[in-house]
Chains A and B, each alone.
Chain A
Amino acid sequence: MTFGSRLKWARESAGLTQKQLSEATQIGESSLSEYENDGRDPSALQLVRIGEVLKRRPEFFFETGESQQEVVLWREKPTADAAQIELQLIELADQYQRLEQCVGNPSLVSLPFVDAGRQNFDYPDAERLAHDFRMSHSLGERPGSSLLRVLEEVCRVKVFHLPFEPTGTAACTLDDRYGAAILLNSNNIRWRRNFDLAHELFHLLTWRLFRAGTHVAEASDCEEKLAQCFAGALLVPAEPLKLAIAAQRRGNKSLDFDDLFEIARQFDVSVQAIVWQMVNNRIIDKAKASTLLENIQGRVNLWEKRKDEIPPPARPIRYEALAREAIEKGMIGTGVFAKYMGISRRAAMKIIETEIYPGSEYQASAEIEIVDP
């Protein structure tokens, strides 16, 4: 692909017209048209502006070979700016991987992927996959409390939080360049995000199985139901659920909303997730469960409007730690630090001056020798 065709491809991938890109970059439409037709090249400054809007590094436009469209899988695409959110996720994942390569752990991803050639993947397979993942990653009886950390630290999945609408959706992507990334909705309450995390994990684990063919960027209804089944089985294992119910019943024949909420809180999932896992484990009747969920919807909504939780930061703590290490070791400059952290250059300068370099005089004593066994 030529420079011009890559530029056009990137603009269209971002869902922008030439007019919109012109407005965003303050570069004339006729100039952009010339660049896309390889009539002439933009200046370095113009290329930086274009790259900033299209969320591509300047180098991208000079790469040879065909451009590969990254696949971002949504449960439900956001109502506005879906293309921009996708680009933001890809850019963050790309930056994270660059930091890992320079100062962290360069291995891309460590997940037990389901083979592409597997036939007839069904609900028992999804439940088995959840069970195996929980056991192999030592998630314990309350997996919701440790899943995020295990995915980030052990499986090297890059998890980001951004606000978008509708709230009941999340996304994931897998690519040879940046590995696996999940986008959660920071507007959601934690137990909803937990379920979304497990749901997106299913899509990553089965990526090679389901993301082949013509509709790679869309999940079928069947695949979505399998993901829900996997998420429920992963976060609310059958035996711990039964024990929790027994403890909560205290000899009573039924559970009320407060009991259900207490069990859901223990597993760090929503009340609905608990109720459906009770159905799946034949603890309650499906029709009665549907009626119950209708009846308690109002109380659930009230609970979920609670704003006693600080929204999670967009970038993981590890990402921030790597960015700080990278600037200290001369792997990035202030401008890149600001861009990676999504802050102003001025704010970046302040962090560097007051938090990163003041510790430099302690560097000499901040090393400890490891005794070999």
Chain B
Amino acid sequence: MPKLKLLILDAGVVIKLHDWGLWGQVIAKCDVHLSSIVAGRESKYHQVDGDDWDQDIALGQAIQDRTIFIFEVPATDILAFKNRFDANYFCDLDDGEAESLAYLTSQRKLDFKISSGDAIVYKVLGNLNIVDQGISLEELLQQIGFSRRINEFQYTKVFRDQMTASGSTDRIQGRGLSILDS
């Protein structure tokens, strides 16, 4: 059985998998790709500072061993991706999410899947009409054989479906993409 080719998008998913102790099993069963910004910056946002997180996420060894892959997108391409949308369609896109989405769309990675806990990502997928390239954490875990009950709404299939549908509706009604793109 080939590994699931997967792009884990936001740092929240990386942190959540570490939180649940499933990170090692996921990277063993999937080709995990992380944007350089998520790997180098955003997954380190949780530094212990009075909150309840007391583990450090060290991705260095996995990157060195090539058990996860890091991709980089030029800053100008990320900007070009953001500029495809109306200025007020989203308020602000995470730099790591922007790099991941730019990678996915500019290089037409059709067999990649994106997993996120953020509505904004699925809305963008819906709006770009690439709805099948989203995968919730719940679906991901099911596909690789973990039947874990997900209590956090933003990691469920229902959430992904709702937000993707919202982006698709925006596309049909002409909201979101700039005139040149639509």
Contacts and interface: CB of A to CB of B under 8 A. Distances in A.
Interface of A: 41-45, 47-49, 57-59, 62, 95, 98-99, 101-103, 106, 326-336, 338, 340, 344-347, 349-350, 352-353, 357-358, 360
B152 A357 contact: yes
6 contacts: A44-B72, A99-B91, A101-B87, A330-B90, A333-B120, A344-B51
B122 interface: yes
A278 B94 CA distance: 54
A338 B11 CA distance: 12
Contacts of A334: 10-12, 94, 117-118
A331 B74 CA distance: 24
A330 B93 CA distance: 10
B99 interface: yes
A44 B166 contact: no
Given A102-B90, A345-B46, A346-B45, A44 B10 contact: no
Interface residues of B, number: 51
A344 B46 contact: yes
B42 A41 contact: no
B88 A102 contact: yes
A332 B76 contact: no
A156 to B, nearest CB: 17
Given A42-B75, A346-B45, A48 B37 contact: yes
A154 B93 CA distance: 29
Interface in B150-171: 152-154, 159, 163, 166-167
Interface string B105-126: 0000000000011111111000
A349 B42 CA distance: 13
Contact of B75 (A47, A333, A340, A346): A47
A64 to B, nearest CB: 12
A144 B88 CA distance: 36
B153 A349 contact: no
Nearest to A359: B153
A44 B94 contact: no
Contacts of A352: 117, 154
Contact of A346 (B53, B93, B116, B119): B53
A357 B154 contact: yes
Contacts of A62: 75-76, 79
Given A59-B79, A102-B90, A345 B12 contact: yes
B148 to A, nearest CB: 15
Contact of A344 (B40, B47, B95, B119): B47
A328 B119 contact: yes
Nearest to B44: A345
Nearest to B155: A353
A335 B90 contact: no
B69 to A, nearest CB: 15
